[in-house]
Chain A
Amino acid sequence: MSPHRKITDQGVAGLPIAEGRAELLEEIMTSTSTTQRTSRGLLVPLAAAAAVVAVAGGAWALTTGDDPDIAPRESGFGSDPSAPVASTSEPAGTPTGKGQDTCVVSYAEGATPPATDGPEFKKCETVILEEQQPGDVVEDERYQRPPRPVLITANGWEVDGVYNMDLDWTGPGDAEVHLTWVQTEAEPFAYDRYQRRGERIDILGLVGRLTGFTEQGKDYQVLFTSPVQNGGPGLLLETSSLGPAEFRALVESLQWVSLAEYDAVVRPAVG
């Protein structure tokens, strides 16, 4: 089918895929639910938890809203961007919940659920294991603090949309850039897709790669950096409305800023 001939929902309904459709339904419903209840207490919604223990690749750390422990800028994957990142994160703290009885442990999709029988869980009446999903929204609020506040400082660029810590930026000529954070350790695709090719660029004290791909006839320019924390998220900038030279100039305008400076720019765009 031509890329410009798009099937309708009515067309989908007429496709001879009844068996596959029915089989998928049964496969999904017989798959293991990732929201598992332990033997103690009742399940509560993730949103009810004030603190979430984030687990990535076997290492886990509390995500409580305190200042993240920023690694030195030169850390990260070092001289070989394609090499796996060795996490230096230590198991941190005791999981806490809204009350002292509910602990939510969030772990990366596809990872092995962590053990919950350690001493740090003793005070938890209920322990909920929650596999992260593409549809997850951890905070109800549109705004969420990023791992480290960063802004585009090139002239004419402003934040046009906020989705948690992801930002849509709009610039001169209606150019658009999407800024997001990608969990490097839990998302090995990041290395396959971005880090093994492209031009190396030293930016923000991190190692980045300028690369791109073509998707459905659109040319995307991408910057992906080493993690701002060991084993943590890397910065991803993506655009389909700038050429390589323009995008590079924009990337070079990125600056770390204080949280107050970040809030001053981002908060008004939350809506």
Chain B
Amino acid sequence: MGHLDAQDETFRRLYSAHFDAVLGFALRRTDRPEDAADVTADTFLVAWRRLSHVPGGDAARPWLYGVARRTLANHRRGDGRRAALGERLRVQLTRAVADLADEVVHRADVTAAMARLSARDEEILQLHLWEGLEPREISEVLGLPGAVVRPRLSRAKARLRQVLGNDPGPAGHLPSTPLPVSSKEGPA
């Protein structure tokens, strides 16, 4: 297998392994599915162009989240679509998410409470609770030392508990892996 073939294969594996995670990351942070499609396209375009910089193994996902996070920031600042790729994904995703009813993260009340916190607290909690990242991985996404992330996460959790009225749920925290719930489990 030639060098380019090996690169292609590496990227295909990366895309296959992390597409759902990156798209999920984007969908959970955007109001419009087509924006999530754009962020996903831009993120993987960066990964493709910077393939030699993508760490292997478990470190790949936080790296991709880090790129997606900065891409999202660009979108929020009005930078619009970058890649102009993935038109079919935009269309399909818009339809698919409109039909979505059940596969939502655990406890909409916690998500709502997180939205009442500062943007920084919300972001670190989202990375921990939605993406299931530990402080070491969060530090990779945010580009901050673990020594900064750990106390910041701790403070954010404390403030979330305050907002929730000291009722953060069973065992005092949410599962690190977002769980699908049925539509009967609570109001949106």
Contact = CB atoms under 8 A, between A and B. Distances in A.
B101 to A, nearest CB: 8
Contact of A9 (B42, B102, B122, B178): B178
A20 B15 CA distance: 13
A135 B40 CA distance: 13
A135 B104 contact: no
Given A12-B20, A20-B88, A174 B118 contact: yes
Interface in A1-33: 1-17, 19-21, 23-25, 27-29, 31, 33
Interface in B1-60: 8, 11-12, 15, 19-21, 23-24, 27-29, 31, 37, 40-42, 44-50, 52-53
B154 interface: no
A149 interface: no
B96 A5 contact: no
Interface residues of B, number: 79
Contacts of B155: 174
A210 to B, nearest CB: 16
A12 B76 contact: no
A23 B15 CA distance: 12
A1 B97 contact: yes
B92 A135 contact: no
Contacts of A4: 108-109, 111-112, 115, 188
B5 to A, nearest CB: 12
Given A31-B85, A271-B145, A174 B159 contact: yes
Nearest to B129: A6
7 contacts: A3-B115, A7-B24, A9-B21, A20-B37, A133-B49, A134-B73, A220-B119
Interface of A: 1-17, 19-21, 23-25, 27-29, 31, 33-35, 45, 109-110, 131, 133-137, 142, 160-164, 168, 174-176, 178, 182, 187, 189-190, 192-193, 215-218, 220, 239-241, 269-271
